Structure 1
Amino acid sequence: MKIVIIGAGLGGLTAAFALATAGHDVQVLERSPTLNPTGGGISIRPGASKVLQSWGLKKLLERICDRSSSVTYRELKTGEIRRTIVDSPEHADWGTTRRAMIKLLHRLATQAGARIRFSANVARVSDDAAQATVTLENGEDVVADVVLAADGIKSQTRRAVLSDVGSPEQWDPNVDNTTFYSFDMAVSKLTDDPSSMKLTEDTNITAWKGDGGFVITRYSSRFKRVGLLFAIEGETDQKGLWDENGDIEYVRRFFAGSCSDMVKALGIAKTCDRWRIAEVPNLPRWSSPAGRIVLLGDAAHAMHPNAAQGYSTIIEDIGVLQFLFASLPGATVPQIVSVWQAVCKPRAERIKEFSRWNTKHLSGKTRAAIGVPHAYSLLESVVPDMNADFSSLEFWKWNVDYDAVDEARKYLGRKATPSRL
């Protein structure tokens, strides 16, 4: 199958590797002149790590990732641990940097045969029952069986795909009133002994719950750096979604009453990025009416980052798509895309809702308790339930112990034949 991917970010390169490895003819169109691996840390949750390990990437990822065993909740003012939730012991919960992951994926995708074109600016996309076409600004037409638009939260393809539904602005990102200020730093600037600080005593995702603001941190023993995201609720004069001119003095003042680890890190930081939390509204569909132009990743379901599952959800989506292409040789592309949406869309939208809830929870805006420790031994006897309360073990089990490809396999078992898709 001939596949064109718009965008060479995390989602685009992951799809390029997976689909080229499966034998498809893959071309990636990236508007930037080079790779642009900006941003801080990323998390790969257990459900996504199942997919990556099924692709044979475990050893490669262990070279650039730290493995964590749990998510830790602390009180921002004191640093006291209030809750630790242990994830699946079978499948890794990995943390790494965006830069390291993009470099790895670029190498793997090109080795698998994907062609990556830089400075390829897309002017428009179109499709019909037979094919999809990407027209570049230089007038060149790139024809494919399917186009995967991994062009991010501000996707222009999204407007084209949904041009028959409502107004174009209806599907633009919803911007929250919470602003993130982010930076990372070498641990050597903080301490000579990482075990002596709460910030660096383990490699878990750590959420520091406050009042009107919170902090997300993750220590990388692999790179000897710690990444910090300081979230402040309230209006801001920032116009765009992201810039490099965060007011570090403002962040210091806001978090002045925090525990000593935070105060020390903020005292050392010189600059920070600033970006608004935003999400794409639930879309009526992730594909064009003809079914050959498909929204992928943040273009389809950008979410608040406070469940650490944005990239993980993208990996699951790609794993299911690869599986369906291989499992339905007699089906048309629109039929396969329809099944893919039926499997992946409900999960992405539920996780997006959880991420939004978690933004409020970490800012002290919910009544959910965080004082009871959870262990995986407790989860083993729990029945997963995607519709359970977000603070429940049932929801957590569904969240972390999910097998996206197996869910697709079950869906096909219920449908039995392509004619019933």
Structure 2
Amino acid sequence: MSDLNGASSSDRHDTGFAQVAPPNSTGIRVVIVGAGFAGLGCAVESKRKGHDVLILEKFKELKALGDIISFGNNAGRVFERWGLHDKFWTVCSHVETLMIHNAQGELLVEQPNPDPLFGAYAYNGHRGELHTMLFEYAQSLGIDIRLGQDVSEYWETETEAGVFSNGERIAADIVVGADGVRSTARTLVLGYEDKPKSSGYAIYRSWFDCAEQGVDKDPLTSFICQGKDLLYGWIGPDVHFLAHSSSDGKKLSNVITHKDDADITESWSFPGKMEDCLKIVEGWDPRCAALLSKAPSLVDWKLVYRDPLPTWISEGGRLALIGDAAHPFLPTSQQGASQAIEDGVTLAVVLQLAGKESVPLAVRTWEKIRYQRVRRAQLLGESVRDMWHKAKPEDKGQAVAIPKPEWLLGHDAEKHAYEVYDSSAKGILQNGYELPTLPVIVPAAGA
């Protein structure tokens, strides 16, 4: 594993650039707005690449909130490279098989969950625990993280970009908007306010202790508390339900996705009503209602949709949107957080390769490298949802299995950025910047 003190010869690419550069060696100042996974991931890799990094986060203190989050093998290889495997592994679930049933409880497929896959591990665990570990790791690298920051304005000139935060004017070579689906940076990038709209779906979600809620004592639910981590799924018309035990079967996460066209103008997260949740599984395998009803509380989370943004970068090329600020994902993709990590890693690499005098070129090249890949991953998530929600009674086996394509999970964002930067940047230098294009072909679920 590498650290900030240097890199071995095996940690260098044909470009001659080290994976781990001396601190502040590039002279590039990076300001990141948001300390979620996208912002922290970008900050860590930017520090490794020799950039000077500042994170501005609106929350005044770190809280370990949330439920389950999934990082695919493509993000996992990044965490391993950072030396975080042993820490993450201890708090993650280790499911060997996904069991998918129809609404009547008939088993449709037992899908193996190999780990590692394509040379890297996946990490699935409590969002708050993993976030805390990544946050503390970023701090251990000496990254300046300022909490309680109110970023009220973004700006850019030909030579720099910056923000006003808590009344202070902060300048940098590049500003990264990692401020989530409610991003204020997005308005500067687009020149107008892009309001989210309902995806037509919502999820009820919960996370709780099995013993405290009697999951292990109920004959209808004790099957998921067997001293190991298990993942059970049920699919029906326009609904899918996943029950995921972790911490050796001691914790349970329930997530049920269903049709919902509620207005999301002001908010899309509410306390959920158990009676409304249970109506969704009326007539289903009785284990579903039994598992759902054990939750002491529910979150009713409306799934937000945005049309693909025409661009993720500002006109001057010194402001970039990453993660959910640029491209929110459906949960069925299991890639939202992973693609956010890839965004940050790729951006850090191209900034290193371009150098301080060519930051706008680096940012435009970054978008060119990332845009179609991200959209392809988004489409895969939509196809998985449709596959489950429109499944016919006779659909079994691979017809309802989650695809695990190598193009997605076997990707090494850092290595890829080193490999393609020169050719991608050359095209922009020769032909000028052009808005990115969407993938021509919508991939099938197994593609």
TM-score bracket, shorter-length normalisation: 0.7 to 0.9
Deviation at 1:153, TM superposition (A): 0.6
CA distance in 1, matches of 2:413, 2:187: 28
For residue 301 of structure 1, give the secondary structure of its aligned residue in structure 2.
coil
For residue 271 of structure 2, give the secondary structure of its aligned residue in structure 1.
coil
The one-character-per-residue Cα deviations of 1:257-294 (angstroms, maximum 9, x if unpaired) are: 23233222223223200111113321121111111111
Amino acid at match of 2:413: A
- In structure 1, the residue matched to 2:348 is 322
The answer to whether the aligner puts 1:141 opposite 2:141 as a matched pair is no
CA distance in 2, matches of 1:79, 1:239: 39
- In structure 2, the residue matched to 1:61 is 88
- In structure 1, the residue matched to 2:203 is 180
- Cα distance change, pair 403–251 in 1 and its aligned pair in 2 (3 A): same
- Cα distance change, pair 158–318 in 1 and its aligned pair in 2 (3 A): same
- In structure 1, the residue matched to 2:435 is none
Amino acid at match of 1:98: R
Amino acid at match of 2:184: Q
The answer to whether the aligner puts 1:264 opposite 2:293 as a matched pair is no
- In structure 2, the residue matched to 1:230 is 256
Deviation at 1:181, TM superposition (A): 0.7
- In structure 2, the residue matched to 1:105 is 134
- In structure 2, the residue matched to 1:383 is none
- Select between 81-90 and 26-35 the one with higher mean Cα deviation: 81-90
The answer to whether the aligner puts 1:84 opposite 2:124 as a matched pair is no
TM-score of the superposition, structure 1-length normalised?
A: 0.85
CA distance in 2, matches of 1:22, 1:193: 53
Deviation at 1:233, TM superposition (A): 0.9
The aligned runs of 1:288-327 (5 Å cut-off) are: 288-327=314-353
TM-score of the superposition, structure 2-length normalised?
A: 0.80
Deviation at 1:220, TM superposition (A): 1.4
- In structure 2, the residue matched to 1:114 is 143
- Cα distance change, pair 354–204 in 1 and its aligned pair in 2 (3 A): farther
CA distance in 1, matches of 2:298, 2:312: 34
CA distance in 2, matches of 1:291, 1:227: 41
- In structure 1, the residue matched to 2:186 is 158
CA distance in 1, matches of 2:354, 2:230: 39
For residue 326 of structure 2, give the secondary structure of its aligned residue in structure 1.
helix
CA distance in 2, matches of 1:419, 1:237: 44
CA distance in 1, matches of 2:417, 2:100: 33
Give aligned pairs, total. Answer: 398
Amino acid at match of 1:119: G
Deviation at 1:71, TM superposition (A): 5.0
The answer to whether the aligner puts 1:30 opposite 2:53 as a matched pair is no
- In structure 2, the residue matched to 1:127 is 156
The one-character-per-residue Cα deviations of 1:36-93 (angstroms, maximum 9, x if unpaired) are: 4432110010111112212222122112222445655332430514251645263112
Deviation at 1:322, TM superposition (A): 2.4
Alignment gaps of 5+ in structure 1: 375-389
Amino acid at match of 1:299: A
- Cα distance change, pair 20–69 in 1 and its aligned pair in 2 (3 A): farther
Amino acid at match of 1:48: A
For residue 332 of structure 1, give the secondary structure of its aligned residue in structure 2.
helix
- In structure 1, the residue matched to 2:20 is none
- In structure 2, the residue matched to 1:412 is 421
- In structure 1, the residue matched to 2:301 is 275
The aligned runs of 1:373-388 (5 Å cut-off) are: 373=398
CA distance in 1, matches of 2:356, 2:270: 49
The answer to whether the aligner puts 1:372 opposite 2:372 as a matched pair is no
Amino acid at match of 2:169: D
Deviation at 1:340, TM superposition (A): 1.2
The answer to whether the aligner puts 1:9 opposite 2:18 as a matched pair is no
- Cα distance change, pair 238–344 in 1 and its aligned pair in 2 (3 A): closer
RMSD between aligned alpha carbons?
A: 3.0
Deviation at 1:206, TM superposition (A): 4.7
- In structure 2, the residue matched to 1:352 is 378
Amino acid at match of 2:128: R
- In structure 2, the residue matched to 1:46 is 73
Report if the CA contact (8 A) 2:254-2:292 is conserved. Answer: no
